Structure 1
Amino acid sequence: MIAIFLQSVLIGYSGAMMPGPMFTYTVDRSIRHGVKTGLIVSLGHSLLDLILVIIIFLGAGKYLSTDMARAIIGLVGGVVLEFLGFGMIKDVYLNKISLDTKDSKSGKQGNMFLAGAVLSASNPYFIIWWSAVGLALIMNAYYTLGIMGIGVFYIGHILADISWFTFVAALVSKTRRLINIKVYKVIIVVLAVCLIAFGVSFFASSIRYISQFFQFQAPLLLLGGTIRSV
């Protein structure tokens, strides 16, 4: 049990600490809303993790790893990231951002929770990881301890995510006091450009998967037409 837990924590950190859309979003919102951002965003991410653990264990992993599934997820993810990125630039341009967090509304917290799930779901690499590495880890935990093993694996995995993103949010929220509004706007624009770049990479991956799908399907369609003509 301890081995499964430690393995899930270490592998969880290896994924959580890699820069990506969720990390970029967490940094942005931490400057605005403080340390609570890391917890809220990672809880939204953890909810999606739980859903994926369940559906992958039930046998859906092979469908999520297909080229067409990756292409669809990448296209949706690209749209989400472009929307967030250009929205951040728009806020800077219209001067709608502030370092004053006293007037932050509770509704923003709900949005951050949803964003944690949406940013994860729209990331094709997240789905690919769960369909490949995650599936192997889930089944290994199940073969070792049954359903309890899956529970231990999941708890270790989400603890890695929650602790890392909470740490990032705490670090950013502490240093925001040293940032003036002009520097803050520059940071927001840089983060927005990063999100837009991630979105472009998602689109590029989707095009590649679509191309691979049709390259695979074309010979099958040609073969099917030949057989029918005979």
Structure 2
Amino acid sequence: MIEIVLFALTSFGVGLSGALVPGPMFTVTVSDSIKKGFIAGPLIVLGHIMTEILMMVVILAGLGQILGSQTAAFIIGIFGGLVLIFMGYNTYRSNTVLSSIETEENGIQKYGSFIKGIITSVSNPYFFIWWATIGLAFMFKGLALAGILGILAFSIGHWLADLSWFSIISFASSRGSKFMSDKTYNVVMIICGIFLSLLGIYFIISQIGLF
């Protein structure tokens, strides 16, 4: 039992080290939390978790090596890069008045954060590389340690890391919106949009260079 707990804590540490690295999910969490409040962060993480559950099923089905292939990395890198550039452009072009956000908010827009959690996951080639390497290794380690219980321990530790970090980011961003002017908000959106676009360009260039 102690080994399982330690394994979950290790998974938490590894997951946190990955979550702390700024990326598409971080940027979207900041921008959505400013507009929609704290709930955006957990919804984005929920979308991310749903994508990871699918990845775990794929790995258990024996397709992990295919995801780690050079051809798959190239396709995912190009497509993901284009998606991030498109998202970055839309974020960059957003020109919102903060005082009108709450009155325009509705259930459909809130679910948009969930969808963005999925999009920022599948559009990031390093998401697949991580799961084809580190994630794969941890899953098999969990299986060897305690079977399905070991995989569950890995999953809980990993997901708690994502939820903890991005909830903190979401809370801080949503609190900032209470004291942020429209001009400052739009500057933040421009920075987020540029960052997403640059990430997309980097993904494309890096995959072209490796292929």
Task: Please indicate, yes or no, whether the TM-score normalized by the shorter chain is above 0.5.
Answer: yes
Partner residue of 1:9 out of 9, 12, 30: 12
1:6-155 mapped onto 2 (5 Å cutoff): 6-92=9-95, 97-100=96-99, 101-103=101-103, 104-155=105-156
Return the letter of the residue paired with 1:98: V
Return the letter of the residue paired with 2:49: S
Q: Structure 2 CA distance, aligned partners of 1:142 and 1:31?
A: 40
How far is the alpha carbon of 1:54 from its aligned partner? Answer: 1.6
How far is the alpha carbon of 1:152 from its aligned partner? Answer: 1.4
Partner in structure 2 of residue 215 of structure 1:
none
How far is the alpha carbon of 1:90 from its aligned partner? Answer: 2.2
Q: Structure 2 CA distance, aligned partners of 1:29 and 1:196?
A: 17
For residues 78-121 of structure 1, the C-alpha deviation after alignment (integer angstroms, 9 at most, x for no partner) is 111111111122223xxxx1223322111112211011011101
SS for the counterpart of 1:35 is coil
For residues 19-71 of structure 1, the C-alpha deviation after alignment (integer angstroms, 9 at most, x for no partner) is 00110011011110110011000000001111111211221111001111001
Q: Structure 2 CA distance, aligned partners of 1:63 and 1:208?
A: 20
- Assess if the C-alpha contact under 8 Å between 1:32 and 1:98 holds in 2: no
| Stretches of structure 2 lacking an aligned partner (at least 5 in a row) | none
- TM superposition score normalised by structure 1: 0.87
Partner in structure 2 of residue 218 of structure 1:
none
CA RMSD of aligned residues (A): 1.0
Return the letter of the residue paired with 1:196: S
Partner in structure 1 of residue 171 of structure 2:
170
- Assess if the C-alpha contact under 8 Å between 1:57 and 1:139 holds in 2: no
Q: Does 1:208 align with 2:205?
A: no
| Stretches of structure 1 lacking an aligned partner (at least 5 in a row) | 211-230
Q: Structure 2 CA distance, aligned partners of 1:155 and 1:35?
A: 22
Q: Structure 2 CA distance, aligned partners of 1:7 and 1:20?
A: 22
SS for the counterpart of 1:38 is helix
SS for the counterpart of 1:59 is coil
- TM superposition score normalised by structure 2: 0.94
Return the letter of the residue paired with 2:6: A
Equivalenced residues, count:
206
SS for the counterpart of 1:102 is helix
How far is the alpha carbon of 1:76 from its aligned partner? Answer: 1.2
| Identity score, percent | 35
Q: Structure 2 CA distance, aligned partners of 1:105 and 1:19?
A: 28
How far is the alpha carbon of 1:9 from its aligned partner? Answer: 0.7
